[in-house]
Structure 1
Amino acid sequence: MSNVVSALAGISHVGFAKVAETGLHGMITLRGDLDSAEVAAAVKAATGAAVPAIRRIEAGDKGRVAWMSPDELLVIVAYEAVSETMTALNDALSGVHALVVNVSDARALFRISGDTPREVLAKVAPVDLSPDAFGPGDFRRTRVSQVAAAFWMNDDGSFELVCFRSVAQYVFDVLRLSAERGGEVGYFA
């Protein structure tokens, strides 16, 4: 049997902020009518979280759920819980027009933390990251430098960023360079 490993084996870098690949995470794409009672009940039962509003992420006792598009959610659970969560979602959505797909091994997840993690992302993503425009629970699907990514802010002020596994090294290098000491802009200090 294969030994499952994360994209970059937990690599990290500390500059004026810390950038770290956070290991294996379960990630499930759920597509369907996000306004339906069936999807809301399935998501709540599987994760403990509500269906998030546009450009938001919600946390529950068994996972997090991020708004990806008008008919798509990203369900984030423990890597070991993917199979069980997919079964729960599929069972709850039986007979409903929906799609549930395991995308765990196609994604990488990074955490940006420290005193000024907001500045790291503001330098590489075309998103207004001012405190008035982007706070805890906010979620954006965007680009980091030249590749697709999505990120959100946690309650502790850190950020988490998800990208395709195939560009994980590139994304890490972009974030690492953005976080280098001496490269602080000081706008969010």
Structure 2
Amino acid sequence: MSEIIAPLNGAAFDGLLRVDALGPQGQITLRGDFAAPAFRDVVTEVAGTAFPEARRVEAAGDRALLWMSPDELMLLLPYEAATTTAADLAQRLSGEHALAVDVSDARAHFRLRGAPLRDVLAKITPADVSPAALPEGELRRTRLAQIAAAVWLTGPQEARLFCFRSVAQYAFDLLSTAAAPGSEVGYFDGR
């Protein structure tokens, strides 16, 4: 059996923020009709969470269900469970207008931690990252400079960031540069 290697193999940066490249993460893209009770029932049963509202995340234990767009969800789960869970979802959703695909190896994941989280993100994304526009528990798809990414605000000073695996080094370098000591902005401090 092949050894699973995550992008950047645990790279970390300590600056204004702590940036950690995370290990392998199971991910299943789910597309379907959110209004269809059968789709919602199967997805929430397998995820073990409630169905997320627009731009929100529902998490329970080692699983999370992320709203990605009006017809797309992302199920995060342990890496080892992704392949069999995707097959189970596809089988249980057969007959529905739905798609379940294991995309675990397609993306890189980062954890960002530190008080100036919003300032660092504001330097590299056009999205409004103010507390009113990006509250805790919300997911935002956006761009980080030249790449597509998603940011999930998991706490007041913590976020998970996802991007394609092929641009993982670029994302890590960009985050590290934006979080370099001496580059403080101070705009969101105390807000």
Report whether the alignment pairs 1:113 with 2:77. no
Query: Against the structure 1 CA distance between its residues 108 and 15, is the aligned structure 2 distance closer, same or farther, given a 3 Å change threshold?
Result: same
Residue by residue over 1:7-29, the C-alpha shift from the partner in whole angstroms, topping out at 9 and shown as x without a partner, is: 11010100011111111100111
CA distance in 2, matches of 1:33, 1:186: 43
Letter in structure 2 aligned against 1:163: C
Hey, what does 1:128 align to over in structure 2? 128
Deviation at 1:156, TM superposition (A): 5.0
5+ residue gaps, structure 1, are none
Structure 1 segments, 4+ long, off by >3 Å, are none
Query: Against the structure 1 CA distance between its residues 94 and 61, is the aligned structure 2 distance closer, same or farther, given a 3 Å change threshold?
Result: farther
CA distance in 1, matches of 2:169, 2:16: 20
Report whether the alignment pairs 1:82 with 2:82. yes
Hey, what does 1:54 align to over in structure 2? 54
CA distance in 1, matches of 2:62, 2:92: 16
CA distance in 1, matches of 2:107, 2:133: 27
2:44 aligns to what SS in structure 1? helix
Please give the TM-score of this superposition, normalised by the length of structure 2.
Answer: 0.94
Please give the TM-score of this superposition, normalised by the length of structure 1.
Answer: 0.95
CA distance in 1, matches of 2:40, 2:60: 13
Q: Which moved more, 1:5-14 or 1:46-55?
A: 46-55
Q: What pairs with 1:167-186 in structure 2 (closer than 5 Å)?
A: 167-186=167-186
Hey, what does 1:35 align to over in structure 2? 35
Between the two proteins, the alignment pairs up a number of residues equal to: 189
CA distance in 2, matches of 1:3, 1:29: 23
Letter in structure 2 aligned against 1:104: S
CA distance in 2, matches of 1:19, 1:62: 21
Hey, what does 1:23 align to over in structure 2? 23
Identity among equivalent pairs (%) = 47
CA distance in 1, matches of 2:156, 2:184: 21
CA distance in 1, matches of 2:130, 2:34: 29
Query: Is the 1:46–1:62 contact (alpha carbons within 8 Å) kept by the matching residues of 2?
Result: no
Query: Is the 1:48–1:62 contact (alpha carbons within 8 Å) kept by the matching residues of 2?
Result: no
2:9 aligns to what SS in structure 1? coil
Q: CA RMSD in A?
A: 1.3
1:170 aligns to what SS in structure 2? helix
Hey, what does 2:164 align to over in structure 1? 164
CA distance in 2, matches of 1:116, 1:35: 39
